[in-house]
Amino acid sequence: MGHKKRKRGERATTHPRNKYFDNPPDFSVLASKYSTFAPYVFYSGDGRRPKIDWTDFNATRELTRVLLHHDHGLNWWIPDGQLCPTVPNRSNYIHWIEDLLSSDIVPKVQDDRNCIRGFDIGTGANCIYPLLGASLMGWKFVGSDVTDVALEWAEKNLKSNPHLSELIEIRRVNMENPSSSKEKLNDEPGKYGQCKDVDFDNADAALIGPSPPSHLPVHPGVGKIYNGPPILVGVVKDGEKFDFCMCNPPFFETMEEAGLNPKTSCGGTMQEMVCPGGENAFITRIIEDSVQLRESFRWYTSMVGRKTNLKVLISKLWEVGATIVKTTDFVQGQTCRWGLAWSFLPLSKKMVPSHMAEKNNMSFMLEGLQRHQSAIDVLQSVESYFCSIGASSKLDSASFNVDVTLSGKQCKSIMKTRSQNGNEQDIPISANYCSGQLNDMRLRVSVFQQIPGTLLVRGSLLQKEIPVSGAFSFIFQQLQEVLKSKFSKSTR
């Protein structure tokens, strides 16, 4: 594998302990070692950069197969149409679980078990999380699923790796008893009350409850009740204890919605991709089940596909009495997902709520883009906005970034305007502002694809010292208003 060093300030795409953190897959090396992969590899116009067609399911499946074999010593396959996982992204989730378990925020469960035990909700035919967790960490797993095909191929993948057979159990979910949690969550307006600002963009953010956020943006799936097969309650056996559960939930409400991204082809059946109410309803049921099972798990976790859903789900967790909630983000190429974790165990370590710290990362969803509008159009508008306020900005179309530098004087002028508008109480002014000792502010704005018509716009400070407290937040909020006014159909 070729070694690729990360540039200073470059946005992280993998966990620091991920095998691919500074050593991404080299398609040319893999093609030379695996003749079955070679036909899918071609080269860019300059003839130097090997690529594959990400819209070709056979190519993505073969890439997953050779990565698992070459880098993890695993034998693996799935039939046509089943969900094909990306190995680097799935490894990120495993390493984040490792971080949660190694922290001393939530005490370890004292019992007779000598190793970590996890529960994979909807393991699928690919059985990717148990295979990676067992091979990388030596963890034990129960992987659950409902369809015959998923269970058959999960078992086949397990039998193809006999060295892991004692670590992994594949468990069938009883389809005859639809999930019906006793603890229903109320979505009525105003139910959650009000709380202070929460940093959803800090990968290490820990939210100490109960402090539910107010004025939440609501996805159309919110309020729909999951009425499918059991998820945890009815599948976890009486007396069983687990260190964690994990889940790659059905993100979508319809197959049409699931197939909107023309740039990738990862397969996926209706059972894997879709449920009424989408991911919000599915993860809400996990929360409801966790209320009943409570301390049967040290950590409950799930992946989340939409940031608007993440905020709603966090509110529900405060409502049901979670003692801690943690979030992170998983970035793969131009796609961003979030990790959500919570526990009901008493905390063993006092923490400072994230809203007490200065925000270094902010983001928002830019929805309602027209078909002819692309991420580059948005980045060009970002560059124009900062140029209009006198800042220096540079667009990198290859990395989908705009790097911005504002002088201390410009920051001071912006905050002075803010004060004159009668909003100084929203953003505190630092001592440096009053003394006139101001340094430049450097920040980066990045754009990630969510689904067609929706982008995630993220801003990150590239320095520790902030010239004027609150200036970054205000500037980014102004940028949000400008972009939504220009691109979001709902605001026109």
The residue that leads in pLDDT, 379 or 410, is 379
Q: Based on the structure, what is the number of domains in the chain?
A: 2
208 belongs to a structural domain: no
Tokens encoding 331: 């970035």
Q: How far apart are CA 39 and CA 428, in angstroms?
A: 59
* Cα angle for residues 348, 359, 369 (degrees, 5° grid): 120
pLDDT of residue 360: 75
Quick one: which H or E segment has residue 457? Answer: strand 454-461
- List residues forming the annotated binding site: 90, 122, 145, 248
What confidence category does residue 332 fall into, taking pLDDT thresholds of 50, 70 and 90?
A: low
Indicate if the pLDDT at residue 491 is higher than 60. no
Answer whether 468's CB lies under 8 Å from 356's CB.
no
Which of 428, 360, 431, 414 lies closest to 204, judged by CA? 360
CATH code where residue 370 lies: 3.30.310.80
Whether 77 and 120 have beta carbons less than 8 Å apart is answered as no
Residue finishing a domain among 343, 370, 404: 343
Asked if residue 307 belongs to a domain, the reply is: yes
Mind listing the pLDDT tens digit for each residue in 101-129? 998 788 876 565 678 999 999 999 999 99
Residue 96's Cβ-count burial label (10 Å; 0-12, 13-18, 19+) is buried
pLDDT (tens digit per residue) in 26-38: 999 999 999 999 9
Q: Distance between CA atoms of 312 and 215, rounded to whole angstroms?
A: 10
Position 394 confidence tier, pLDDT thresholds 50, 70, 90: very high
366 and 461: one domain?
yes
Q: Are 37 and 63 in contact (CB under 8 A)?
A: yes
Distance CA 119, CA 269 (A): 21
Mark whether 335 and 384 lie in a shared domain.
Answer: no
Q: Which tokens go with 179?
A: 């999930």
CA 438 vs CA 68, 251, 429, 441: distances in Å: 51, 45, 12, 9
Kind plus residue range of the DSSP H or E element containing 481: helix 471-487
The overall average pLDDT reported for the chain is 78
17, 26 Cβ separation under 8 angstroms = no
Indicate if 230 and 287 belong to the same structural domain: yes
Per residue in 337-384, pLDDT tens? 889 999 999 887 655 444 334 467 788 888 888 888 888 999 999 999
Residues 338 and 456 in one domain: no
Beta bridge partners of 328: 339
Binding-site residue numbers for S-adenosyl-L-methionine are: 90, 122, 145, 248
DSSP lists the bridge partners of residue 348 as none
pLDDT > 60? residue 180 = no
State the pLDDT confidence band at 425, using cuts at 50, 70 and 90. very low
Nearest 5°: phi and psi at 17?
-95, 0
One domain for residues 320 and 374: no
Query: Is residue 207 one of the residues assigned to a domain?
Result: no
What's the predicted TM-score (pTM) here?
0.65
Please tell me whether residues 287 and 376 are part of one structural domain. Answer: no
Residue 432 lies inside a defined structural domain of this protein: no
**Residue 41 belongs to a domain:** yes
Whole domain around residue 409: which residue ranges? 361-415+438-487
Average pLDDT estimate for 453-480: 77
Q: Is residue 350 part of a domain?
A: no
- 320/381 same-domain check: no
Q: Which of 156, 2, 183 is nearest to 77 (CA)?
A: 156
Binning the chain into helix, strand and coil, the percentages to the nearest 5 are: 35, 20, 50
Residues 82 and 159 in one domain: yes
User: Residue 365 is inside which H or E element, if any?
Assistant: strand 361-367
Mean pLDDT of 399-416: 80
Least confident span in 165-174, 349-358, 481-490: 349-358
Strands 335-343 and 324-332: antiparallel
- Pick from 323, 311, 350: which is nearest to 198 by CA? 311
DSSP code per residue over 319-332: HTT-SEEEEEEEEE
Q: What is the CATH number of the domain that holds 65?
A: 3.40.50.150
DSSP 220-272: TTTTPPP-SS-SSBTTBPTT--EEEEEE----BSSHHHHT--TT------HHH
Q: What is the rounded distance in angstroms from the CA atom of residue 311 to the CA atom of residue 314?
A: 5
Round to whole Å and give the CA distance between 481 and 69: 48
pLDDT band per the 50, 70, 90 thresholds, residue 307? confident
Domain-embedded: residue 427: no
Give the residue from 279, 311, 343 where a domain finishes.
343
Within-domain flag for 109 = yes
335 and 371 together in one domain: no
What confidence category does residue 217 fall into, taking pLDDT thresholds of 50, 70 and 90?
very low
Please check whether residues 335 and 391 belong to one and the same domain. no
Which residues are 145's β-sheet partners? 172
In a shared domain, residues 374 and 405: yes
Domain boundary among 343, 377, 407: 343
| Backbone dihedral angles phi then psi of residue 140, each to the nearest 5 degrees | -90, 150
Q: Is 148 helix (H, G, I), strand (E, B) or coil?
A: helix
Same domain, yes or no: 446 and 339: no
Amino acid at 418: R
